[in-house]
Amino acid sequence: MAMMLVAVACGRRLPPGWAYVTRVTPTSATVVWTGVTEALECRGPDGRRLQLSSTAGRRGIRIAAVAGLLPASTYVCRIDAGARPLRVRFTTAPTESAAFTFAAVGDTGDGSAAAASLARRILAGRPAFLVHLGDIGYPGGTAPQYAAEFFRPYRRLLRRVPLMPTPGNHDLRPRSVYRDLFSPAADGENSAGPHYSFDWGAAHLISVSSPEFARDAAPGAEWLGTNLAAAARPWRIVFLHEPPYSAGTKFTVAGLRGVLEPILERGRTDVVLTGHVHNYERSVPACAYAADARTLHVISGGGGANLDPAARQANFARVISATHYVRVRVAADHLDIRAVDVSGHVLDHARRERTGDVACVSSGWPPARDR
C-alpha cells in the first residue's frame, strides 16, 4: 500500500504557472510550462505573430517547439493562463562566433534569502543563458521543493533568460520531478541520467549527468567521447554536478574521476563547470591523463547560504566560501571567468587565451572521494 501511495504521489500534475525556455539555437527554441493552456503566441523583432501549439508531457507539462526564428533576435511569447498570462522573453543564439556572456550556478535549493538575492544578481548581469549545475531543490527534488526553492526565487530570471540545466544528486532521487520537468532540455537519457549539447557563439557546451560515469557501468562515456570529437567550435565547455577534482571532502560517484577525466582531457575540454561542493574553487589546468590537455576545473556550488568551508590544496589557485555565481565571457580568442557574489563584487578572475602555451599540472591532485 505504501508503494502504491508513493506511485500516485509521483504521478500528480505539477502546479500551474511554471515556465522556462531551453534548447535555444539561432533559429529555434523550446518553451516549457505547466498548466492546461495548449496555445502559445510569440512575436519577434518584426512584430510578426507566431501561433503555436504545444504537446503534452508528463505531470501536466506543455512543450512547444518554436522554429523559423531569426538569429541573435529577441522574441516575446505569451501563454494564456487566464487572469495572469505567462510571458517569457529570450534571444536566439548568433550564427557567428560573436562574443557572449553566460552565467553558471549550482546548489541553489536551500530556500534561503541569499539564494533569492543571488537570482536577482544573476538577472542583473543579463546573461545569454543560465547553466544550472544541479541540486535545484533540497532535499529530494519534489514538486513543493522546486516550487519554493527554484520557481519562486528564479521566476523573473526564468522569464527572461534561457535555462540549460544538469541534474544534481538530490535532483535524481526517487521522488524527484527533475526527469519529467527538464526532459525537454535533453537530447536523450540513459538509466543514469540525461545529457545534451549545444553550440553558442564560439563555444560548444555539453551537459552530462554524474552517474553516467560510475565505475561499474559508465553508460555516458562513449556518448561524451564522440560528442567532444565532433565539436567544431573553438571552445569546449562541459558541465555536470559532481566534480572530478576538488579541494573539498565531499563524496562523488564511485569512479567518476577515473572514468570521466581521461575523456575530458583527451577530448581537449577547455573548462569543466561543476557544483556539489558548496563554495567556489578554481583549479590550475590539469593534464593528468593527456600531456597536451589544459583542462580547467571550476566549481560553483555556492548558490545558497549553506556553504562548505574553504579547504586549501596546492592544485587549486582559489578556494572561496561565499554565496556566488560564475560569469563566463566567451570570445573566439579568449575566455573570461569571474566569480561574483550577491553584492556584485568579483571574488576571482581568470582569463584563458586561445593561443599561447599554458602550464598544466599532471600530479599532486587530491585523492578521489568515491562513495
CATH superfamily assigned to domain 14-91:
Purple acid phosphatase-like, N-terminal (2.60.40.380)
Please give the Cα distance from 253 to 325 (Å, whole number): 24
The percent of residues in the chain predicted with pLDDT above 90, rounded, is 85
Query: What's the average model confidence in pLDDT over 194-213?
Result: 96
Q: What distance in Å separates the CA atoms of residue 56 and residue 54, rounded to the nearest whole number?
A: 7
The pLDDT of residue 2 is 39
* Model confidence band, residue 287 (pLDDT cutoffs 50, 70, 90): very high
Nearest Cα to 218, choosing from 190, 197, 237, 244? 190
Model pLDDT, residue 130: 98
Across the range 104-112, mean pLDDT stands at 96
pLDDT, averaged across the chain? 93
Residue scoring higher pLDDT (179 or 85): 179
User: Is the model more confident about 1 or about 162?
Assistant: 162
3-state secondary structure at position 161: coil
77 closest CA partner among 51, 114, 101: 51
Q: Is 215 a residue whose pLDDT tops 90?
A: no
pLDDT greater than 50 at residue 28: yes
Looking at domain 100-353, its CATH class is: alpha beta
> Where exactly are the structural domains of the chain?
14-91, 100-353
Cell of residue 187, nine digits: 537530447
Residue 74's CB is within 10 A of a number of other CB atoms, namely 13
Residues in a beta bridge with 339: 326, 348
The continuous run of DSSP H or E covering 179 comes out as helix 178-182
Assign 37 a pLDDT band (cuts: 50, 70, 90): confident
- Contact between 190 and 183 (Cβ < 8 Å): no
Q: Which residue has the cell 510571458?
A: 87
Query: What element of type H or E holds 230?
Result: helix 221-230
User: How does residue 5 score in pLDDT terms, banded at 50, 70 and 90?
Assistant: very low
Task: Assess contact for 74 and 89: CB atoms under 8 A.
Answer: yes
The CA distance from 131 to 220, in Å, is: 20
Model confidence at 20, pLDDT cuts 50, 70, 90, reads very high
> Of 303, 299, 313, 306, which is closest to residue 361 (Cα–Cα)?
313
CA distances from 4 to 10, 65, 303 (A): 10, 35, 35
Please tell me the predicted confidence (pLDDT) of residue 1: 30
- What order of strands is seen across the sheet that includes strand 86-91? 49-53, 39-43, 74-79, 86-91
